[in-house]
Amino acid sequence: MAYTLEQPAARGAGTTALEDPRTRQLDPVLARLVLAGRISADAAVRATAMAQEQRQSLAATVASLGLITSQDWAEAVARHYDIELVTAEDLPREPLLADAISPRFLRNAGVLPVRATADTVWLAMSDPGNTYAIRAVAIATQRNVVPVIAALEDLQKAYARYWDAGQSALQRIVDDIGEDLGSDAGADVEHLIGAAQEAPVVRLVNQLLTDALRLHASDIHIEPAREHLRVRYRVHGRLREAGAPPARLSAAVISRIKILAKLDIAERRLPQDGRARLTLLGRRIDLRVATAPSVHGESLVIRILDQSAQGGDFPDLGLDPAVEARLKRVLAAPHGMLLVTGPTGSGKTTTLYAALRHLNKTSDKLISIEDPIEYQIDGITQIQVRPEIDLDFARVLRSVVRHDPDVVMVGETRDPETAEIAVHAALTGHLLLTTLHTNSAAGAVARLLDMGVEPYLLASVLRGILGQRLVGVLCPSCKRPRSATAHERAFFTAAGIEVPEDLRLFEAPGCEACENVGFVGRQGIFEFLEVDEPIRELIRSRASTQAVAQTAMKAGMRTMYVDGLYKCLAGITTLDEVCSVTSEDW
């Protein structure tokens, strides 16, 4: 059949829809999907703008935004242009015409020959509007080209099957870039903007983010070195190498990320902080980006906040049933203060979100003050702190108490002013939840006293302190039991835990399901200090942290270390994990 974009299949009622102001400027296939109610008009406009900005096909853009699957898009294109649709089973087992067309061209163009005769080649493509690719294949093969439609995902899987054995997607993109992008060290702003918007650099940054999501990484560390750009992901609390693009790409990659985060790419001497929101793998992702100058260029860290994850509830945290019951008893109080303590990245905010979900009911007004808002929860008034306009925790908290809340969550108590306002808010009939950076639950008392909170006030409002850390959860696919050594048995004996003679612990060597890491996510280990009268007396007398901890343990508090040991016996984690996060000698 003769193929032209100007002669699509009969459109019927779709012709009228294309006259609508919201759709008439759209790609016709996208407009028909809007007419059919498959995609909203706003989403279609956004996808069109993103495809133009990132210089990628609409097929790739709508799939990356999660608006429609690549298979559904291919079916819509085939129907609209009345072109044959080929499936994954129709694609050849080996690449055709390999001597005439390079793999790099096929990948970049998003096309693949699927059948060939002496004078004709049938070319699978996700975007039939790519007339350049059609002409290029016709010239390279000296044959007529008949376009057919294939899902972008099927084409990418075919590329991987043909050419990607033993090579990461990140490395493939770097190899595809070749020498096209030269060194841009010291380049002017216009050059950096141009390089950052080149399609290969856009694909490289998108692949970095996609790989991080697939690995469930919490952070991406990008660090320029003399010979390469070091990229590492923090997965389950540990950094792992992700790749090493050549140093000549450093400025372009970092500039691309700075553009996404709305940072000043001309400023390379001072640290900057920014944010970005995008959709990858059908999930809405928030990024917190921090830059800092280093010897070989700007170092950059990206914190990944997956909005689709939405945190968890108490059963998901790994709380011991007795601790969960005591925690809920504190949350049932009409007023007072609950602290969640631990270092950065120990899951404190996730625990507070679980508490908010537990408390969230129509009879109470809940307000949270956060930096940033990690998960949005219906029914809760969430306020974003903005230090750049002097809207800090203390200022927002001072205003919030006049909004008649029942429960207030303060993302972090960082300074004496916030601590003082929080204590007074708890005194005046509010239940206040907040986090504090301390090494133990008992250490939170001394920390607040050092911030200037009066002992008698703290003793009056403090209801409980939850200390926590995160440990890796063993992969269920490759987890296996083994006999414990005498050295390992000693840890349990010293902690007063009775174990059988044939004690068995668990390990996971790694498998395909866990990316050969041995862990699939993290779970908390906890210690809960419930403030009773003996603890209040110690607070009033400014007793030492050790005295507070010993009194709490006599009253039944299980330390994080002991909680971790019980999770080792349950096959959840390893002794090495527990000792590493609790600073116990191993």
Write out pLDDT tens, residues 62-82.
776 667 777 888 888 888 888
Distance CA 551, CA 168 (A): 54
**Residue burial 151-176, b: 16+ Cβ < 10 Å; e: rest:** bbbbbbebbeebebeeeebbebbbeb
409-437 per-position pLDDT tens digit: 998 998 999 999 999 999 988 999 999 99
Instruction: Tell me phi and psi for residue 106, to 5 degrees.
Output: -60, -45
292-328 per-position pLDDT tens digit: 999 888 999 999 887 655 566 787 888 999 999 999 9
pLDDT tens, position by position, for the chain (586 residues)? Answer: 333 333 343 333 344 444 455 556 778 888 888 887 777 787 788 788 877 776 777 777 777 666 777 788 888 888 888 889 998 888 998 888 888 888 888 888 889 999 999 899 999 998 888 889 899 999 999 999 999 999 888 888 888 777 765 445 666 666 556 555 555 555 556 666 666 666 678 888 888 888 888 788 889 999 998 888 899 998 877 788 887 788 878 888 898 899 889 998 888 889 998 888 887 766 778 888 999 999 888 999 999 887 655 566 787 888 999 999 999 999 999 999 999 999 988 889 889 999 999 999 888 999 999 887 877 788 899 998 888 788 888 889 888 888 989 999 998 998 999 999 999 999 988 999 999 999 999 999 999 999 999 999 999 999 999 999 999 999 999 999 999 999 999 999 999 999 998 899 999 998 877 877 888 888 999 999 999 999 999 999 999 999 999 999 999 999 999 999 999 999 999 999 999 888 765 4
β-sheet with 144-149: strand ranges across: 111-116, 120-125, 144-149
Place of tokens 């952070």: 219
